[in-house]
């Protein structure tokens, strides 16, 4: 049997340096991220006494390009994880793929291995809206191999660049967690008694496109009548490095049911919602997993699984999670009772 292996290749504009990768998607396992392993081939007559480096470039756009004005940009670029490939300064235990590539490319092909930054988040991007033209909020990674006298001596003509993605894998331990359950008892200034809500999900983890069944019990022990029951799936996004309190919420799907729940009456409801990326709006509001190709379908950003050794406030990038929100509505003056059920959205790798 012949096994066909795809290799990604990118040369610098002057053709003097070429980078090879066996893959462009790397899995974030929460405790660690798969290292980027590849091979760089070079022209020794061009490089001469200079060095060849490989570096990860992290680009975090925290606002729309269309909103930039007066020279102000919503973009932060970090050059991180630099490693010297030539002349070799460390011993690399080459993988089988790297050994095969070096054998094919000749004496001036060198293996490298470089790690993603621990503090950065996965590759996310804002959904492209119908009226969006420029770059949108999101986090992207790029691998860069270049020739220079030192690490900061970078010239476009002798630089090879390949985009890579950091994708989330849901740890198996999360699948074994108890199903989400929560309860709420709320009192109101304009009436006596309390409203009690209990809600539960059948599993702690769901995948995009799956149905999410929600079991709800409401006990109206107030002196007012409950008029509506609203249930929705909400994507919550934060940028911890800017604010730990500001949370951007976007409704993915919802139901709005009129009910007549008189004082002293209880009701049970089973609601099923499908977790999927919404159709495009005027401006994108939902975070997606970054695409390998622009024509790829929209896939909701999976829940961010933070590294347990990293302080949440130090995370550089976007943190995404999901909740099912149950809201009992009394109407004007009295107020609402809101209960959130968090769950994990995972994508199979």
- Spell out the residues 6+ positions from residue 165 whose beta carbon is closer than 8 angstroms to its own: 24, 25, 26, 123, 141, 290, 292
pLDDT tens digits, one per residue of 241-297: 777 778 889 999 999 989 888 999 999 999 999 998 887 765 668 899 988 887 888
CB 190 within 8 A of CB 42: no
* Same topology between domain 8-168 and domain 176-345: yes
CB 178 within 8 A of CB 204: yes
Burial classification of residue 192, based on how many CB atoms lie within 10 Å of its CB (0-12 exposed, 13-18 middle, 19 or more buried) = exposed
| Torsion over CA: 188, 192, 194, 195 (sign) | negative
| DSSP notation for 287-344 | EEEPPSSTTSPP-BPPPP---TTS-GGG-BS-EEEEEEEEEEE--TTT-EEEEEEEEE
Which residues is 165 bridged to in the sheet? 25
CB 299 within 8 A of CB 347: yes
Q: How many CA atoms lie within 13 A of 169 on its CB side?
A: 14
Helices of type H across the chain: 44-47, 96-105, 172-175
111: number of Cβ within 10 Å: 20
167: number of Cβ within 10 Å: 19
pLDDT at 239: 86
CA triple 216-222-227, angle to 5 deg? 60
Q: How many angstroms separate the CA atoms of 210 and 52, rounded?
A: 47
pLDDT tens digits, one per residue of 287-342: 999 888 878 888 899 999 988 888 888 888 889 999 999 999 987 767 789 999 99
pLDDT at 1: 46
pLDDT tens digits, one per residue of 202-214: 999 999 989 999 9
pLDDT tens digits, one per residue of 13-68: 999 999 999 999 999 998 889 999 999 999 999 999 999 999 999 988 866 666 65
pLDDT at 110: 94
CATH of the domain spanning 176-345 = 2.60.40.640
CB 47 within 8 A of CB 72: no
Return mean pLDDT, the chain.
87
Burial classification of residue 6, based on how many CB atoms lie within 10 Å of its CB (0-12 exposed, 13-18 middle, 19 or more buried) = exposed
Domain 8-168 -> CATH class: mainly beta
pLDDT tens digits, one per residue of 71-129: 566 778 888 888 999 888 878 888 889 999 999 998 999 999 999 988 888 999 888 76
What separation in angstroms does the CA of 201 have from each of 13, 109, 196, 215? Answer: 54, 53, 17, 7
pLDDT at 6: 81
pLDDT at 345: 95
- Parse the chain into domains and list their residue ranges: 8-168, 176-345
């Amino acid at each position: 049997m012949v096994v066909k292996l795809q290799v990604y290749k990118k040369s610098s504009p002057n053709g003097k340096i070429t980078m090879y990768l066996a893959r462009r998607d790397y899995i974030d396992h929460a405790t660690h991220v798969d290292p980027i392993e590849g091979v760089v081939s070079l022209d020794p007559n061009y490089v001469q006494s200079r060095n060849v480096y490989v570096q990860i470039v992290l680009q975090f756009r925290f606002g729309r390009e269309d909103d930039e004005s007066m020279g102000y940009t919503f973009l932060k670029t970090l050059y991180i994880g630099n490693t010297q490939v030539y002349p070799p300064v460390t011993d690399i235990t080459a993988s089988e793929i790297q050994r095969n590539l070096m054998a094919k490319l000749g004496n001036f092909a060198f293996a490298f291995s470089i790690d993603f930054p621990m503090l950065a988040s996965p590759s996310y991007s804002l959904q492209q809206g119908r009226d969006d033209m420029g770059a949108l909020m999101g986090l992207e990674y790029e691998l860069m191999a270049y020739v220079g006298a030192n690490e900061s001596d970078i010239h476009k003509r002798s630089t090879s660049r390949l985009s890579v993605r950091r994708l989330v894998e849901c740890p198996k331990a999360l699948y074994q967690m108890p199903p989400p359950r929560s309860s709420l008892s709320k009192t109101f200034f304009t009436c006596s008694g309390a409203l009690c809500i209990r809600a539960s999900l059948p599993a702690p983890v769901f995948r995009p496109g799956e149905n999410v069944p929600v079991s709800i019990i409401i006990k109206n022990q107030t002196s007012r009548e409950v008029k509506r029951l609203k249930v929705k799936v909400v994507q919550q996004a934060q940028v911890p490095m800017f604010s730990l309190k500001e949370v951007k919420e976007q409704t993915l799907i919802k139901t709005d049911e009129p009910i007549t729940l008189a004082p002293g009456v209880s009701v049970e409801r089973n609601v099923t919602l499908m977790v999927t990326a919404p159709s495009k709006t005027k401006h994108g509001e939902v975070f997606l997993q970054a695409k390998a190709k622009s024509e790829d379908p929209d896939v909701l950003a999976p829940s961010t699984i933070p590294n347990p050794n990293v302080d949440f406030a130090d995370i550089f990038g976007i943190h995404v999670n999901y909740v099912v929100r149950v809201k009992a509505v009394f109407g004007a003056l009295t107020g609402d009772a809101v209960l959130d059920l968090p769950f994990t959205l995972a994508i199979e790798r």
